[in-house]
Structure formats: C-alpha cells, structure tokens
Amino acid sequence: MNDQTKSNNNSDILVKVENIKKWYPVQTTFLDQIFTQQRDFVRAVDGVSFTIKRGEAFGLAGESGSGKSTIGRLTLGLEQLTEGRAIFDGIDYSTLSVEENRKLRRRMQVIFQDPMASLNPRMSIGAAITQPLHIHYPEKASEHRDMVLSIMDKVGLTPPLFFYNKFPHQVSGGQRQRIVIARALVTQPELVLADEPIAMADVSVRAQLLDLMVQLKKEFNLTYLFITHDLATAKYICDRIGVLYLGRMAEVGPLREVYANPLHPYTQALMAAVPKPNPHKRRTHPMPEGEIPNPINPPSGCRFHPRCPIAKEECSRVEPELRELRPEHAVACHFADQFVK
C-alpha cells in the first residue's frame, strides 16, 4: 500500500476546499417521488472555497442555517461532498480508500459544543482521553497512560491523577470542556475543528477556555478551524475569518481587516447587531428586515438581496462572486466598492 496519508507536501496550505457543495434531499412521500419530476434539496452549502494555512486559526461565522457546521464536517472529510473538492495537506479525500481515510484522520480532531453530549457518561475521564490513542496508536499501548497524564496537565486538569478515575458528571462544566480538548489533542493532530467549543460555557469560564485554546495552539503548532456564531469571541482567537450567509461565503479576510472595514452589507449588519458591553455605545442603526430565508428555495441572485439596504435590480438576477477588493480581503457583493476605506 502506498502510504498517501503521510505528509507529502511542504506547502503552507494545510486545508483547501474548492467550490464545495452539500445538498441534502428533502424527505418526500413515496407518491410524491413518483409523480413529481423535481426533487427538492436543502442547499446547506452551495459553492464555498477557502484555504487554511498551517498554524493559522481560521474562523467561520454565521447565523444558524448558514452552513457553518456542515462546512466543518466536509472539510474533515466526515461527509460526502455533493460537488467540489476538499483537500487536506495536498490529499483529496475522495481519492482515498476507507482505510486510508481512517489513517489520515489521526491528523485531525474535533471539539464540539456540548461536552456532556460528546463524553460517554460511563467512561472515566482517563479512559475517555485514552480512547483515541487506542484507535489510532494501538501499537504504543505502553505509553498511553503517560501521554494522557501529560495532556491532562497541559489542559489544566491538575493534578491529573486526581481526575484520571473520575467520571464526567463529577466535574464542573468548564473542566468537562477541558476533557474534550485533552481528548482531541492527545493524538497530536495538526488540524482541530472547533465547532462552537465554548458557546455553552459561562462568561467567567469562557475567557479561561479561550486562553487555553490560544496557548495550546502555540505549544502544539495547531491549525484551527473555529466555527462560531459569536463574532465577539472570534476576535480573541482567529487570524482570518469567513462570514457565511445561507451556504455561501459573503466575505473573507484577515479578521482585524474585516472587523475594521466590513465590506458586505450582511457583515456590517451582523457586526452592528452584536451588543457591546458598554452602555455608552448603544446601537442606533436599524437592523435589516426579515430573517435568514429557507435554504430549500434560496433567493435568486445575491441571497442577501431581499434584506439588503443597498440592493439594486441587478442583485436579484446576478449572483455575485467573491472579489478581492483589498489585499486578501474578498467580498461577494456587486456594490461593495463604496465601502472600501
């Protein structure tokens, strides 16, 4: 077997997705299937491209239904693409066998939102963190315990021996999220998909966890794909950010550049909507009308046009492509030039 799953590529780019689409068929009755020609699809992801550089934290932000979690799973090859290509370290998932895919997967890990849902309540903390080692590195069984204790120490589950035999329900919410982080990092992955990793945590604990994730990224030279609905939190961890709207990328660029000069009217609305912890700076702008539309029949042309304050006739006909209006800062809007500072 030629081992394609080892790093065979020294380029800066760890992840590359090209025009990925994921359409889920809408469940219909048997009779409908016979008598109607056309099947409906939920276009969860509808033509998204981006790259993530090695050692970078790339954020994907959007409201519910924007397709951000689906893109996360597609990027890790956890779901079949409807169209497009997803490439990890120069390797296209679709060219690999199941076994090769499994081997490749030891180089990536996931952290989900709800630690209680991602931990087996009947498995001790030590056993839970050891599990990925059993799966990916069974040949190193004798070293497992030391590896687990060392990572527990690094994520702040200290002293590790105190926690090793405890169960998830015996520790606090913040500690549970640390367990999930430890379990993700114990195999020393290169890419970590963090899907709303701290959304459940309380404010005072959230800052600790964010800081931990930043520290660990430095220490292990990790690459993050950080999925969030909270633009304020993204500021503290992401280097670059992509803003999604209804399965399409509205805007992408370096985080500080995008926040300083948001070019898409949707990004502008989203940023204005985030409440600021300062009563002297209350928002005065009105919010766009309506809510995120149904992804089964997305609006024609630019998907944001029915809610957009600057929409013109063209917007309902022609779907805008991402255009780079400033270095590395691209936006999918026909009329964004006016916002360039």
Position 92 contacts other proteins (CB under 8 A): no
Please say whether the beta carbons of 262 and 316 come within 8 A: no
Q: Of 10-18, 75-83, 177-185, 266-274, which segment contacts other proteins by CB under 8 A?
A: 266-274
The residue range among 103-111, 207-215, 312-320, 326-334 that interacts with other proteins, by the rule CB under 8 A, is 207-215
Q: Choose between 2 and 278: whose C-beta lies nearer to other proteins.
A: 278
The arrangement of strands across the sheet holding 329-331 comes to 108-111, 191-195, 223-228, 57-61, 240-245, 248-254, 329-331, 323-326
**Stretch touching other proteins by CB under 8 A, among 32-40, 179-187, 223-231, 308-316:** 223-231
Least CB distance to other proteins at residue 206 (A): 7
In the list 3, 279, 313, 327, the residue contacting other proteins (rule: CB under 8 A) is 279
Task: State yes or no: residue 138 binds other proteins (CB under 8 A).
Answer: no
Residue of the chain from 39, 276, 312, 317 that contacts other proteins (CB under 8 A): 276
Taking the complex as a whole, the smallest distance from the CB of residue 38 to other proteins amounts, in Å, to 23
Q: In the beta sheet, which residues pair with residue 225?
A: 58, 193
27 binding other proteins? (CB under 8 A): no
Among 8, 172, 221, 300, binds other proteins (CB under 8 A): 172
Integer Cα distance of 307 and 291 in angstroms: 8
Least CB distance from residue 35 to other proteins, whole Å? 25
Q: Considering beta carbons, is residue 27 or 37 the nearer one to other proteins?
A: 27
Q: Is 254 in the site for other proteins (CB under 8 A)?
A: no
167 makes contact with other proteins (CB under 8 A): no
169 binds other proteins (CB under 8 A): no
> Does residue 63 interact with other proteins by CB under 8 A?
yes
* Region of 24-32, 218-226, 253-261, 333-341 interacting with other proteins (CB under 8 A): 253-261
What tokens does 220 get?
Answer: 């292990």
The whole-angstrom separation of Cα 179 and Cα 16 is 29
We find the least distance from the C-beta atom of residue 236 to other proteins, in angstroms, to be 6
Near other proteins by CB under 8 A, which window of 52-60, 77-85, 98-106, 224-232?
A: 224-232
Binder among 127, 271, 310, 325 for other proteins (CB under 8 A) = 271
Which part of the chain contacts other proteins (CB under 8 A), choosing from 18-26, 42-50, 85-93, 167-175? 167-175
Q: Of 186, 241, 270, 332, which lies in the binding site for other proteins, with binding defined by CB under 8 A?
A: 270
Give me the residues that bind other proteins (CB under 8 A), please.
Answer: 63-64, 172-175, 202-208, 210-211, 229-233, 235-236, 256, 259-260, 269-283, 286-288, 291-292
